[in-house]
Amino acid sequence: MIGVAVLGSTGSIGRSTLEVLRRQRDHFRVVALTCGRNREEFAAQVAEWRPAYAGLALPGQDERWPCGPDVLVEAATHPDVGIVVNAVVGAAGLDATLAALRLGKRVALANKESLVMAGDLVMQAACTGGGEVVPVDSEHSAVLQCVTGRDSGLGRLILTCSGGPFREWPAERVAQAPVVEALRHPTWRMGQKITVDSATLVNKALELIEAHYLFRLSYDALEVVVHPQSIVHAFVEFCDGSVIAQLGFPSMELPILYALTHPARLPDTGVRRFDPVAAGPLTFEPVRREVFRALDVGVAAGRAAGTAPAVFNAANEVAVSAFLDGAAPFGRIAEIIDRVVQAHHPGPAASVEVVREADRWARGRARDLVKSS
């Protein structure tokens, strides 16, 4: 029985994780749960799973559980935890990722922001602590499934992208897109932040940076293709030109289960069986990079490396919450991120403190830009 901590248990990935664990009670037990909001749902989860540790990760008070940001690290480092499912959204997930890896635990990582902010530090923590990062993100899970057992000759990755709700919209309309439309993702049901990131294609930029650190490939070997049906999750090309892909109906439960069991597999009756006829025609098209500019801004930040990806991530978090609050139009998100990244002089991401400082600077700058619009 492996002990699991689920950080962000009330979110989209957190709930799907508990759904998977409900079917795998012979193999895993829930040792720790944390959430940010949704206290009542959290209370029901705690009653069902009776974890050894439960905490609310946001400041405040609740007589039932410990509260505050330290809760994430406490849950992630609990001695009975072998696997930490990090399903927190945003920069708040970084410390728990690092702490778990330093103690030699597996991190099933949905919180891609940790890897984007501090990719080298995260991979170093895994190396020195003996922990491992196993991606939950469907594209990266697909890549991992394609390369596992084939440990040489990896050449190029092509990550697929649904194109988001504005795939076919004219540029002028995209710039003024309302919040309700941005939150209407064509193929995935996810939390609000990642849904907006999918509409701007910031999510794909974050994923390219994530792939760079996970699979140690240069940005020249990382590509994106639009695939509106979200059936093929990634293509992996080997050095001889052979291509292997991983397919499935869109559901996060399969990548979550695989992140828990990799490189082994467990039978799972909860996942919809694949049916190529029902999947229908599969189509592929290039990204409209001139409309979804944030993708290239993110790739440039990834290439600049050091503190640049953390700045890209932080500016995006501020711009997305401004958009969701009605304080910035959709088109301003990419513009704000671009201006913050342009104004930044990246240095080496030598420590978590340096990364946090870059993150703070970028948030301040992005907030000023939101105010000045």
Q: Nearest distance from residue 371's CB to ligand NAD, in Å? A: 22
x/- map, 7-46, ligand NAD, by CB under 6 A:
-xxxxxxx--------------------xxx---------
Q: Which of residues 76, 85, 89, 146 is near ligand NAD by CB under 6 A? A: 89
Exactly one of 190, 337, 341, 362 binds ligand NAD (CB under 6 A); which one?
190
- Does residue 259 belong to the site contacting ligand NAD (CB under 6 A)? no
Q: Is 111 in the site for ligand NAD (CB under 6 A)?
A: yes
Distance CA 247, CA 147 (A): 14
Q: Does 137 bind Mg ion (CB under 5 A)?
A: yes
Residue 92 contacts ligand NAD per CB under 6 A? yes
Residue 310 interacts, among Mg ion, ligand NAD, none and using kind-specific CB cut-offs from 5 to 8 Å, with none
Q: What sections of the chain are H helices per DSSP?
A: 12-22, 39-49, 70-76, 94-102, 112-117, 119-129, 138-147, 171-175, 179-182, 192-200, 202-215, 253-261, 276-279, 294-304, 308-324, 330-343, 352-371
In a 3-state reduction of DSSP, which class is residue 193? helix
Partner whose footprint covers residue 238, from Mg ion, ligand NAD, none (CB < 5 to 8 Å by kind): none
Nearer to Mg ion, 113 or 139 (CB): 139
Question: Would you say 137 or 253 has its CB closer to Mg ion?
Answer: 137
3-state class of 300 per DSSP? helix
Backbone angles phi, psi at 231, to 5 degrees: -100, -45
SS3 at position 84: strand
Of 29, 105, 112, 185, the one binding ligand NAD (CB under 6 A) is 112
Instruction: Please give the Cα distance from 49 to 26 (Å, whole number).
Output: 14
* 210 binds Mg ion, rule: CB under 5 A: no
What does the DSSP 8-state code read for residue 248? -
CB 276, min distance to Mg ion, A: 22
For residue 92, give the 3-state DSSP assignment: helix
292-351: contacts with Mg ion (CB under 5 A): none
- Write down the residue that tokens 């480092």 correspond to: 77
Determine phi and psi for 224, rounding to 5 degrees: -130, 140
Q: Which residues lie near Mg ion (CB under 5 A)? A: 137-139
Interface with ligand NAD by CB under 6 A: which residues? 8-14, 35-37, 57-58, 72, 87-89, 92, 110-113, 137, 188, 190-191, 194, 252
